[in-house]
Amino acid sequence: MKLHHPLPRTSAFTLIELVLAVAVMAMVMLVINAVFFTALRLRDRTADMLDQAQPVQQAATFLRRDLVGAMASNGTLSGDFKAGSVSEPNAGGNVAVEMYTTTGALREDQPWGDVQKVTYELKAPAVPGAPGGKDLIRSVTRNLLSTVSPEVDDQWMMSGVQDIKFQCYDGSAWNDNWDTTSSNTNLPVAVRVRIVLAGGGRLGSQEPIEIVVPIDSQSPTNQIQPVVNAGI
């Protein structure tokens, strides 16, 4: 007599369980996909902010250094300090400030000292099809003793600038214009720079950038200081 052993029963997923598992997997993949693309957008936005902030910080650094080193107009290698509506025949844009400053780099291959003439102006964008605004250009003249038209080195600072304004503090009030060739014979006590960025860029419009730089310079005077007799 033969005995028939029953086959072992194997467990299997039902159709409903398979559908639920696929649905759960799809929801998990959607969440992962959303988190991934959110991280990508955050990375791109952070990269845009860093790319835009770097020229602004560089321009602010150059502005502070030039203003701190500004020289009074009382020497052979120093000139006038002008801010506001500056008339500069060699400039191709709207000059906002002109100064003589001690920020020139001393190099063995260049016979110039550390005193140089620096102007800041806004010019049309050098790149065609720029989103908006103008380029902030720092123009440097190293050869201050030239008898002919000196060579001017134009340095790009930043783009997307709608307006730049310099205000000079005389000790009691802020002035929109300053010219040591006329009424203001001395350097201002401080200079406030306001940079307005143009809208329509990758990050849209932003708040204006303001920089206040105190100027510590001895003003020229014709007064004779009294000599105190110490009994020597």
Residue 95 token pair: 């000059």
* Tens digits of residue pLDDT in 104-133: 888 887 787 888 999 999 998 877 666 678
How many Å is the Cα radius of gyration of the chain? 33
pLDDT (0 to 100) of residue 88 = 55
> Could you tell me which residue, 228 or 216, shows the higher pLDDT?
216
pLDDT (0 to 100) of residue 66 = 94
Cα separation, 127 vs 226, in Å, equals 60
Is residue 89 within 8 Å of 188, Cβ to Cβ?
no
Please state, rounded to an integer, the average pLDDT across all residues of the chain: 78
Burial of 65 (0-12, 13-18, 19+ CB in 10 A): middle
Is residue 189 within 8 Å of 171, Cβ to Cβ?
yes
pTM above 0.75, yes or no: no
Q: What mean pLDDT comes out for the span 22-44? A: 84
Residue 50 token pair: 């860093």
Is residue 178 within 8 Å of 160, Cβ to Cβ?
no
Q: What mean pLDDT comes out for the span 68-72? A: 88
**Nearest CA among 81, 93, 99, 89 for reference residue 183:** 81
Question: Cβ–Cβ contacts within 10 Å for residue 112, how many?
Answer: 16
pLDDT (0 to 100) of residue 48 = 65
pLDDT (0 to 100) of residue 4 = 58
Q: What mean pLDDT comes out for the span 25-39? A: 86
Q: What mean pLDDT comes out for the span 129-154? A: 84
Q: What mean pLDDT comes out for the span 134-151? A: 86
pLDDT (0 to 100) of residue 230 = 40
Residue 133 backbone class (left: φ over 0; alpha: ψ -120 to 50; beta: rest): left
Is beta strand 178-179 parallel, antiparallel or unpaired with respect to 82-83? antiparallel
- pLDDT > 90? residue 87: no
